[in-house]
A and B are shown apart, each in its own frame.
Chain A
Amino acid sequence: MRPLDLLWLVPALPIAGAALNGLICLFWPKAGKSTATLIGVGFPGVSMLVALAAIWQYLHGTNPAPFEQTLWSWTAGTFSIPVAFLLDPLSVVMLFVVTFVGFWIHVYSAGYMSHEAGYRRYFAYLNLFMGAMLLLILGNNFLVMFVGWEGVGLCSYLLIGFYFDQSFPPQAGRKAFIVNRIGDFAFLVGMFALFAKYGTLTYSAIFPKVVSAPEALTAPYALGLTFAGFVALCFFIGAMGKSAQIPLYVWLPDAMAGPTPVSALIHAATMVTAGVYMVVRSNAIYQLAPEIGTFVAIIGAFTAILAASIGLVQNDIKKVLAYSTVSQLGYMFLAAGLGAYTAAVFHLGTHAFFKALLFLGSGSVIHAMGGEQDMRKMGGLRKYMPVTFWTFALGTAAIAGVPGLAGFFSKDEILHNTAATGHWGLFAIGLFTAGLTAFYMVRAVAMTFFGKFRGTHDQEHHLHESPWVMTVPLLVLAIGAVGSGWVGIPELLGGGNTFHHFLSPVIAQFPEHAIEHPEMAASTEWLLLIASVAAGLIGIGYAFKLYGGGEFGGASWAKRFPVVYRLLDHKYWVDEIYDRLIVKPLGALSRFLWKGFDDTIVDGSVRALAWATELSAEGGRLSTTGNVRHYALYFFLGVLGLFWWILRS
């Protein structure tokens, strides 16, 4: 049996692990932690091995064609959707990222969550998430993707609200789920439109038709858009929700209420990237709707800079990373919107490594600080936790775009494509944001690891490096953060941009609307490269100047521009605006429908019916006098009535 035939095991194993752990939760609650760990880490581990074997076989096969494996068909009447998996270059990349990074985060969790109640429940949820995410990326049609999409949304809710005995986490979980729902609705509408037009949702059925008959999609369709534009917009709104872009990003910072490994896995490396995957998968449609593509790019760019600006003033280490994630996702959409699909996926991959690394590192710090997350209470931790410090620093360097590390290559690819397509305004935004990114990340590193320790005495005694079960994943991910960029070294620097060529079969080729790769002079390219490196280095340097000594150098800026500071500190009051404009009116409407409608009218009519029945019963009761003569009279009157009725004719 070839590994590729076992492809279905890749999502099935984590789901089975989740079910198994769930059942044990229900029926053997006293079972030891070791079984939970064995199942919870083991099953995804085997899944990863199968995935790697399948990828190996795929890459070294004689036939580079996409591999499809169909399990069975969902049929309802004439509507039939196959439950099938697809392995092609894009899903290979996603599969590798998800299983590899996911597995190491599972290992890390065994250490991080070892003292938590609900340990087994955690792994059940986390495995379920893995299964759903794998369904999402392996599905060969939009419906299987959607099942995975919804599944990861559910698991996100479950895991954000993991500490359900506190009041905030469940609220944050709800917020995530509800905001996601808005996007899901749009995604569904897009799927409906696609299905109405093509009668199928399978990629291999739709995309060739799109390429061969593009006129069908460029005719006007709805809302002043073409068909392609409409579907592209609907899908992007779905991506806005899942991948936290403006205006639906507000759930991600609050999602930090969940355990840190969850933040690493779901809100950095995998789930939030589902939107990018979806857009890249549907690139055939996006290519035919350039106006939507531009819209996507603009949203991406503005999200990037907005989130980065908020990240400048955050004091919670996880919140810094959360806004950073939103910002980096913005970069991915900037690329995808402008047609640089491979650049988007490239950044997705590198980001998964270094962001997961950063989150796990922060978890290590929080663990050592006994749960403290406020960086103002940290400081000088590099003495106590060298491994954590060095890996975290490496991740920071990667995200800041230090040359040679992963983030440098992927970010540069995006900026290069932005400039190459002539969007200099967006390029400027991207460049400035790169500087901001470097700044706030180094600020976080400095506040946490440099200077003097600012916490309490008890906390200081508690400081220690994390156990190997947590530090080994840090090291593995650090290797990835360094090395994952080397698959995409651009030609400018001597590489062959292997990654780009690897993914190109996934990008639809239109005979008439060929993607332009405008040629830039090599000198311009070098200039841009130097500019982006410079932005990063300036950010790093200035942050060190302000925070490196252990003081809060940014306070002087805050004093000079108090209004700006307040704006950033309050996250532009976006949450408050949403609350005032949307949440409260909706709540009032719901309350009205509940009290005024459901209770009064619906329940009221039932109550009235009961009351009427009781009344008539009370009345009817009086006729049972016990006196036979009365009964005989009723009888006779009834007979008379019957008689009259029959004789009417």
Chain B
Amino acid sequence: MSLPHSVPVSWFLVLAALLFAIGVAGALTRRNGIGIFLSIELMLNAVNVELVGYSRLLGERTGQVMVLFVMAVAAAEAAVGLGLFIAVYRQRRTIDVNRLNLMRW
């Protein structure tokens, strides 16, 4: 099946960049730990889009394979991170990152 592509690939890439930027802003700005995680997932997702976009641009399937790996890593990271969150919450009863500042000067 062959689709005509009236949408230039660059649009996809720009979309991905925008999504990434939004994710970064969120990761840096949110106080809620879960919120930060969600932003990170958003960033990873944006990267996936970018990868597939370039894969399409260059005609290589390698980008798609990379996306698979990124997803696997994201899953692993989410699991471990959430485990950490649980442990922290048990101790400190909060996941407000502002309050998790024992390594202050």
- The smallest C-beta distance from B88 to any residue of chain A, in angstroms, reads 11
A626 adjacent to B104 (CB under 8 Å): yes
Measured between beta carbons, the chain B residues less than 8 angstroms from A648 are none
Q: Report how many residues on chain A are interfacial, defined by Cβ distance under 8 Å.
A: 11
Measured CB to CB, the nearest residue on chain B to A623 is: B105
A625 adjacent to B101 (CB under 8 Å): yes
User: Would you list which residues of chain B between 26 and 47 have a CB under 8 Å from chain A?
Assistant: 27-29, 31, 36
B100 adjacent to A628 (CB under 8 Å): yes
Interface of A is mostly: helix
Of B24, B36, B103, the contact of A626 (CB 8 Å cutoff) = B103
Measured between beta carbons, the chain B residues less than 8 angstroms from A629 are 28-29, 31, 36, 97-98
- The smallest C-beta distance from A626 to any residue of chain B, in angstroms, reads 3
- The smallest C-beta distance from A480 to any residue of chain B, in angstroms, reads 85
Interface size on B, as a range, is 10 to 19
Mark interface residues in B84-103 (1 if CB within 8 Å of A CB, else 0). Answer: 00000000000001101111
Q: Cα distance A636–B98 when bound, in Å?
A: 18
Measured between beta carbons, the chain A residues less than 8 angstroms from B36 are 629
Measured between beta carbons, the chain A residues less than 8 angstroms from B102 are 626
Q: Cα distance A628–B102 when bound, in Å?
A: 10
User: Would you list which residues of chain A between 627 and 648 have a CB under 8 Å from chain B?
Assistant: 627-629, 632-633, 636
Q: Cα distance A625–B100 when bound, in Å?
A: 10
A636 adjacent to B28 (CB under 8 Å): yes
A-B pairs with beta carbons under 8 A, tally: 30
A624 adjacent to B103 (CB under 8 Å): yes
Known contacts A629-B28, A632-B27, A633-B28, A621 near B98 by CB under 8 Å:
no
Q: Cα distance A629–B25 when bound, in Å?
A: 11
- The smallest C-beta distance from A288 to any residue of chain B, in angstroms, reads 80
Any B CB within 8 A of the CB of A582: no
Of B28, B29, B105, the contact of A625 (CB 8 Å cutoff) = B105
Q: Cα distance A636–B28 when bound, in Å?
A: 9
Mark interface residues in A605-628 (1 if CB within 8 Å of B CB, else 0). Answer: 000000000000000011011111
- The smallest C-beta distance from A635 to any residue of chain B, in angstroms, reads 9
Of A624, A632, A633, the contact of B105 (CB 8 Å cutoff) = A624
- The smallest C-beta distance from B76 to any residue of chain A, in angstroms, reads 20
Mark interface residues in B1-40 (1 if CB within 8 Å of A CB, else 0). Answer: 0000000000000000000000010011101000010000
Apart from A626-B103, A628-B100, A629-B36: 15 A-B pairs, beta carbons within 8 A:
A624-B103, A625-B101, A626-B101, A626-B102, A627-B97, A627-B98, A627-B101, A628-B97, A629-B28, A629-B31, A629-B97, A629-B98, A633-B28, A636-B24, A636-B28
A positions within 8 Å CB-CB of B: 621-622, 624-629, 632-633, 636
B positions within 8 Å CB-CB of A: 24, 27-29, 31, 36, 97-98, 100-105
5 A-B pairs within 8 Å (CB atoms) are namely A625-B104, A626-B101, A629-B28, A633-B28, A636-B24
